[in-house]
Chains A and B, each alone.
Chain A
Amino acid sequence: MNVLVCISHVPDTTSKINFVENNTKFNTGGVQYIINPNDEFGLTRAIWLKEKQGAQIHVVHVGSAMADPTLRKCLAIGADKAFRIDTPAIDGGAVAKELAAFVTANSYDLIIAGRESIDYNGSMVPGMLAGLLDIPFIPNCVGLEINGNEAVAEREMDGGREKLKGTLPIVIGGQKGLVEESDLKIPNMRGIMQARQKPFEVIAPQQASAATQDVLYEKPAPKADVKLVPADDIDQLIELLHKEANVI
């Protein structure tokens, strides 16, 4: 089985978010980048498939060399081969088109991406990729089993869960639940040494066009101080929520 895990490279949640060039660009200065957490759950699930059922795990990222350490980390925790499609990731649609061309050229049985990236939270890439390839797609995936050429996956929906079954190849939008945090692997010395020997290919892009463009960033207005209500004056809280905030 050939598994492709799509890796996004995102600022750690605790990073300070700031913008430069008249608020048209994200300030990467001093920002710690990590594997998008949702992708890491997917990668770990893929490594389990390799360990238990046998699989080749490839990871792919669309973007600049800035993400190379992240891809090396993926190799160190168990992926077999890394690819980077060398073009800036302008929007989800363009990334999905690059990935679709890559998947078509290489043939995968299972493609795992993250439910969403934590920078744009768009949840766009996996669904658009499945749409372009015209293959089944399961988002918000909290459980995945592969039996032969069939995938059984559970998705979280609003107020419940749905278990779905489809024929490979299939695209998964993964999240916590595929594996738990305690299952995530920390690269060890042996893994890091091995990763240096593993194949890492930088490939030329299709130059897919983007349909959207981010033109201006804005930070939320500074928050007014919290209004504290004494614990023995709950009526005041109810009054505020009713008359001032209009929420009850």
Chain B
Amino acid sequence: MSVLLFAETENNTLKRNAAEVASYAAALAKSLNTNSLAVAFNADNAQDLGQYGISKVYNIINAPEQFDANVYAHALSQYISNTNATHIVVSSSADAKFLAPLLAAKNNAAYVPNAVALPNKLEPLTVKRTAYTNKAFVHTELDAEINIIGVGNNSFGTVEQFVDCVVENDSPEHTASNLDQVSMSKETGKATIADADVVVSGGRGLKGPENWHLIEDLADVLNAATACSKPVSDMGWRSHDEHVGQTGKPVSTNLYIAIGISGAIQHLAGVNASKVKVVINNDPEAPFFKAADYGIVGDAFEVVPALTEKLKAFKAQS
């Protein structure tokens, strides 16, 4: 028995979510009285996982430069069988959700994504996860020999716990890819909706794309990703990549700031998993206030610049 986690990388560096997945895997291993191992692909800083309780990392140094779900799933499968891994921990990133079902199929494993906590029972392994687009939770039993848990973003958090970490650099044989990359476009150096701690989101209340500096300036101060409601992307004010909600990207961040967004159920469905929600809206009856933790009833054109300035001052002091 062992716990094995898939630590994601980007540009040869561990992704931020690797820390949370590692913390989860280490805590799970502890409750199972076993050790937690990691597999990373092209990670120059693989030993950093030791900060989160991981004692051994198999670092695959001859992996394709870009994430390739099928190739990675094959490689991971070898480590699952070599280490007798029984519990596999992955994140809920787009890449992890691409890889995990392939991995499950290859290993005849049970898989549940969007877990919100450590298993509340080990026998049978029972995991709480979100269901009905964040309107409920379900406790799911996993009863295969190999069980894969996808940890919801920001649901467990990171737990620092320093251990000695041995990194073994491996060059296994890879399976051939069954897809070729034609092109990739990726914003670099910008926080993404999936990774950011804070997401600042704008709706139709902002009146037009020319006003988006309000959102961007606030996001800059908070090192936040920017997002928008569906009509905003439908009207072409912002790119579709920023559209969040039931039909857009899911948001599960620590702080979600919604500006000029009414809080329609389809919007809320996609953002409700965020821990703290702040709403700025000039209509006190806007449904979003019912789903929010903090709110300001006011005109975004006045409140947001003031908030940005005050936050700048706050950040400068702290």
Number of interface residues of A (CB under 8 A): 80
Whether, in the assembled complex, A2 has its beta carbon less than 8 Å from a beta carbon of chain B, the answer is: no
Residues of B within 8 A of A126 (CB): 101
Whether, in the assembled complex, B133 has its beta carbon less than 8 Å from a beta carbon of chain A, the answer is: yes
Whether, in the assembled complex, A247 has its beta carbon less than 8 Å from a beta carbon of chain B, the answer is: yes
Residues of B within 8 A of A186 (CB): none
Residues of B within 8 A of A19 (CB): 136
Chain B 177-212: CB-based contact to A (< 8 A → 1; otherwise 0): 011111111110010111101100000000000000
Whether, in the assembled complex, B47 has its beta carbon less than 8 Å from a beta carbon of chain A, the answer is: no
B295 touches A218 (CB 8 A): no
Asked whether A220 and B136 contact (CB < 8 A) given A13-B266, A127-B105, A226-B289, the answer is: yes
Residues of A within 8 A of B126 (CB): 215
Whether, in the assembled complex, A219 has its beta carbon less than 8 Å from a beta carbon of chain B, the answer is: yes
**Contacting chain B: which of A71-79, A160-168, A193-201?**
A160-168
Chain A 91-111: CB-based contact to B (< 8 A → 1; otherwise 0): 111001000000000000000
Residues of A within 8 A of B289 (CB): 226, 228
Whether, in the assembled complex, A217 has its beta carbon less than 8 Å from a beta carbon of chain B, the answer is: yes
Chain A 218-248: CB-based contact to B (< 8 A → 1; otherwise 0): 1110011011111100110110111001011
CA A220 – CA B290 in complex, angstroms?
Answer: 14
Whether, in the assembled complex, B32 has its beta carbon less than 8 Å from a beta carbon of chain A, the answer is: no
Interface centre among A127, A159, A220, A241 (most CB of B within 10 A): A159
**Contacting chain A: which of B53-61, B90-98, B163-171?**
B90-98
Whether, in the assembled complex, B86 has its beta carbon less than 8 Å from a beta carbon of chain A, the answer is: no
B100 touches A241 (CB 8 A): no
| Option from B66, B186, B240, B254 in Cβ contact (under 8 Å) with A142 | B240
| Option from B113, B135, B144, B307 in Cβ contact (under 8 Å) with A234 | B307
A118 touches B194 (CB 8 A): no
CA A142 – CA B103 in complex, angstroms?
Answer: 23
A121 touches B114 (CB 8 A): yes
CA A134 – CA B93 in complex, angstroms?
Answer: 23
Whether, in the assembled complex, A137 has its beta carbon less than 8 Å from a beta carbon of chain B, the answer is: yes
CA A161 – CA B92 in complex, angstroms?
Answer: 17
- What DSSP secondary structure best describes chain B's contact surface? mixed
Whether, in the assembled complex, B311 has its beta carbon less than 8 Å from a beta carbon of chain A, the answer is: yes
11 A-B Cβ contacts within 8 A? A91-B110, A93-B104, A121-B114, A127-B102, A135-B178, A137-B98, A137-B102, A156-B94, A211-B111, A215-B140, A226-B295
A158 touches B192 (CB 8 A): yes
B195 touches A158 (CB 8 A): yes
Determine the residue in chain A with the shortest Cβ distance to B102.
A131
CA A166 – CA B98 in complex, angstroms?
Answer: 16
Asked whether A212 and B310 contact (CB < 8 A) given A37-B247, A121-B130, A164-B182, the answer is: no
Residues of A within 8 A of B103 (CB): 131
Asked whether A158 and B69 contact (CB < 8 A) given A131-B106, A215-B141, the answer is: no
Determine the residue in chain B with the shortest Cβ distance to A18.
B136
Give the shortest distance, in Å, between B225 (CB) and chain A (any CB): 8
| Option from A125, A152, A226, A247 in Cβ contact (under 8 Å) with B290 | A226
B contact set with A: CB distance below 8 Å: 66, 69-70, 73, 93-95, 97-98, 100-106, 108-114, 126, 128, 130-144, 178-187, 190, 192-195, 197-198, 222, 234, 240-241, 246-250, 254-255, 265-266, 269, 275-276, 278-279, 289-299, 302-303, 306-307, 310-311, 314, 318
What 7 A-B pairs are tightest by C-beta distance, nearest first?
A131-B105, A127-B101, A160-B186, A231-B298, A159-B192, A211-B110, A158-B194
Whether, in the assembled complex, A14 has its beta carbon less than 8 Å from a beta carbon of chain B, the answer is: yes
Interface centre among A123, A163, A216 (most CB of B within 10 A): A123
Interface centre among B128, B136, B276 (most CB of A within 10 A): B136
CA A212 – CA B254 in complex, angstroms?
Answer: 29
Whether, in the assembled complex, A50 has its beta carbon less than 8 Å from a beta carbon of chain B, the answer is: no
Asked whether A245 and B186 contact (CB < 8 A) given A158-B193, A161-B241, the answer is: no
CA A181 – CA B136 in complex, angstroms?
Answer: 27
Residues of A within 8 A of B249 (CB): 156
Residues of A within 8 A of B134 (CB): 220
Give the shortest distance, in Å, between B139 (CB) and chain A (any CB): 4
B104 touches A218 (CB 8 A): no
B187 touches A163 (CB 8 A): no
Query: Which parts of A129-166 form the interface with B (CB within 8 Å)?
Result: 129-132, 135-140, 142, 152, 155-166
